[in-house]
Every structure is written in C-alpha cells, then in structure tokens.
C-alpha cells in the first residue's frame, strides 16, 4: 500500500468523504490511481465547475484559429449582453440598474472579471434574485444568463456565470451548439469517451451525492446539472470520469497535443495558462450559502484563461505557474507544467471545500510531490 492509498483510506474511515478517487500523472501517462469507498475508475461524476476549463479551451480553440480574440467585446458577438446592467442599489424593493461604464470582453468572461457573480459568494445577488424572481443559472433557462453585474467589467475579480456566457460566444462565432462543438473538437480528439452533457447511458456508473448534516454524518442529496436545458452552461454542465479529465490535463502538459491529436498550438496553450487579469487578483470568496465554505487559496492566486493561476510556489506542493480549480461537489484538479504533474481528486459531497475535505486534499497533494 502506498502512502497515498493510506491517505485516501483514512479520509473515508475518518469521515472526510464517503468515497474518493484520485489520480496523478504527467505528460507521458498516468502514474497513480487510487480509491477508497464505493467508487471505481469507471465512476461518472457531476464535475460542475470543472466544466469551466473545457469552456475556456473551446474559446481558445477559436482564438488559436483567428476567429476570436480575448479583446473582442462580448456584445459584438452577443448583442444580448447589452441587456446586462450593473446593480446600483434599490428604491424600496425595486433594483436600480445602470449601464456598465466599461466594455466587457472575452478576457473578462474567461477571468471572472466581467462583474457577474454567483449567488453563493455575494449577498447582493441572492437578494436581487429574491426581489425580482430571477432564475438561477442552474435552471438551464436562457433568461437565467442575465444576472446583474455587481461591478463594472474589468474592475474586480468575482466568481460567476461568466463561462456560461463564454460558451454562448463560442456558439455564436462557430455556429455549432456548444455541446456539439465540445464533442467534436475536444472529447472525440482526446478520447474522452465518458464525458457528456447528458448522463444518458452513463446512469449505472453515476456516483451518488451526499451532504453533511448538522450531526456531522453524510446523508443523501439530489443535485445535478439541469437535463435538456435551453442553454448548456459551460460553467457547470458536464459529467466526466477522473481518467477522462486526466486526458484533458495531460494535453495541457503536452502543450496542446495528446496521442497525435493537436487541439491547440503551443503559443495558444501558453496564452491559456498565463495571467490574464491585467493587474487584478483573485479575492477570497466569502460564502453566503450553507452549500459552500469560504474559498481562500495559496500561492498568490490570480486567473488565466483556463482557471486560477498560482503565481508563487507552495512549499511541498504545486509550483508557480500551476492552474487549478474545482467543482462544487468536491471534484478538484491541478496542472503543474513546471514539475510536469497533473492530478485530480474526486468525490460527490457538500459543503464545498469544507475543512475535512481540504485536509484530505492537502495530504494527497503533498504525497504526490513527495513521491
């Protein structure tokens, strides 16, 4: 038994997770697969916000082909963006909305600096939704895209439905619906045979979801991306396996290619992984929802086109230049080009980034680098 096996087993026996699957590898292949609890390599996960890196890749494919620029104004491609306004307070219960003072670009969407934020980390947003009846992005409705902006584009980092809009940009520029684009341009070339927008045919492999109760024990919960939505949200829509996601990460380590299939040029990969925040920085995400803890990250975080970018080495762990992110049901990844390491650690639990899970993640990552 390896040290990592012991760490995963301990995570289950001590109640950090009901089950866990972890993998790490490099540009050449998978170096470790481990699991504890009721899970297998074939298990399918609702990866929620791990979908975002795939949406960013879709946009970068178009940038690489000269069909799109990071500086393209969103409204130039999607006139519906002109309907998005900044929330500037209330008159009684009626929101005061104004036009943005700055122009939102594709780069702002990719880096979560457009001003559009989720209801889980900014109290102004659930307040707006309650007062206006605005649907959550998880409804899958086209109308749900029109969250208010909490700040003007390009002025602050704030995590929100930006990649859902980015997916719509890809649709408008390319002409294919985003699920068809991703299947034909990403999943099929990379051999991601168990990654899909609908769980059709994958149901018997789909993991169950658990939420920690007030007594500290896990109980069942039903949560999933909306089936057959009006809009496939590239912030949350995908189902996948650990092995499939590692193929995507290994393509990144191989600078745009895997097993003979080239998705991006080397220059495009470098652009995708580089700091694109134009002087802004990641800000601690203070939870306003019982479904998530606060999100605070190590390594001087900023944001690339793909994900959070760690600008400083974390001793014993990831290097400067690492990109990482996660899905709300505690599916997590990082890709470290400097040390040629990619890894995933996946379960299906809430709350997101609760301390017991973070301790397991930390121990796993340290063991990966120690090995």
Helix and strand counts by DSSP (H, E) for the chain: 11, 16
* Catalytic residue chosen out of the listed positions 159, 232, 245, 333: 159
- Token readout for 184 is 């034909």
In whole angstroms, give the CA distance from residue 286 to residue 298. 15
Contact 205, 21 (CB under 8 A): no
In whole angstroms, give the CA distance from residue 297 to residue 61. 28
Catalytic residue check, 159: yes
Contact 274, 311 (CB under 8 A): no
The per-residue DSSP string of 198-214 comes to: S-TTTGGGBPPEEEE-T
Name the one residue in this structure whose structure tokens are 């600078």.
Answer: 255
Closest among 40, 43, 78 to 59, alpha carbons compared: 78
| CA end-to-end distance (rounded Å), the chain | 13
The per-residue DSSP string of 189-252 comes to: HHT-TT-BSS-TTTGGGBPPEEEE-TTS-EEEE---PPSS-SS--TTT--EE-HHHHHHHHHHH
Contact 264, 326 (CB under 8 A): no
What kind and span of H or E run contains 45?
strand 45-46
Catalytic residue check, 304: no
Beta strands across the sheet bearing 322-327: 30-36, 20-25, 341-346, 331-336, 322-327, 308-310, 301-303
* Catalytic residue chosen out of the listed positions 35, 49, 317, 324: 49
* Catalytic residue chosen out of the listed positions 35, 52, 118, 361: 52
Q: What are phi and psi of 109, to 5 degrees?
A: -65, -45
Please give the positions annotated as active site: 49, 52, 159
């Amino acid at each position: 038994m390896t040290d990592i096996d012991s760490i995963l087993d301990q995570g289950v026996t001590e109640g950090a997770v009901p089950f866990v699957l972890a993998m790490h590898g490099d540009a050449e292949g998978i170096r470790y697969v481990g699991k504890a609890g009721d899970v297998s390599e074939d298990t399918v996960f609702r990866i929620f916000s791990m979908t975002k890196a795939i949406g960013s890749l879709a946009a970068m494919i178009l940038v690489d082909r000269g069909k799109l620029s990071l500086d393209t104004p969103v409204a130039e491609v999607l006139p519906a963006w002109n309907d998005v306004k900044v929330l500037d307070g209330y008159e009684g219960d009626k929101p005061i909305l104004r036009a943005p003072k700055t122009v939102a670009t594709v780069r702002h969407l990719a880096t979560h600096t457009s001003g559009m934020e989720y209801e889980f980390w900014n109290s102004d947003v659930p307040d707006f939704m309650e007062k206006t009846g605005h649907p959550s992005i998880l409804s899958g409705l086209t109308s749900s895209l029109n969250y208010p902006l909490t700040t003007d584009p390009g002025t602050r980092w704030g995590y929100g439905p930006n990649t859902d809009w980015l997916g719509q940009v890809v649709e408008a520029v390319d002409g294919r619906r985003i699920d068809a684009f991703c299947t034909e341009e990403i999943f099929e070339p990379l051999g991601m045979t168990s990654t899909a927008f609908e769980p059709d045919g994958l149901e018997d492999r789909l993991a169950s979801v658990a939420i920690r109760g007030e007594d500290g024990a896990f109980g069942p919960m039903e949560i999933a991306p909306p089936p057959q939505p009006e809009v496939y949200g590239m912030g949350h829509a995908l189902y996948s396996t650990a092995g499939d996601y590692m193929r995507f990460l290994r393509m990144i380590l191989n600078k745009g290619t895997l097993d003979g299939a080239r998705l991006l040029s080397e220059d495009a990969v470098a652009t995708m992984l580089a700091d694109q925040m134009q002087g802004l920085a990641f800000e601690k995400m203070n939870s306003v929802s019982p479904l998530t803890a606060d999100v605070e990250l190590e390594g001087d975080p900023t944001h690339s086109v793909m994900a959070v970018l760690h600008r400083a080495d974390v001793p014993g762990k990831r290097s400067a230049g690492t990109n990482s992110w996660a899905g709300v049901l505690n599916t997590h990844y990082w890709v470290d080009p400097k040390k040629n390491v990619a890894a995933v650690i996946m379960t299906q639990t809430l709350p997101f980034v609760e301390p017991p899970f973070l301790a397991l993640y930390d121990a796993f990552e340290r063991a990966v680098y120690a090995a």
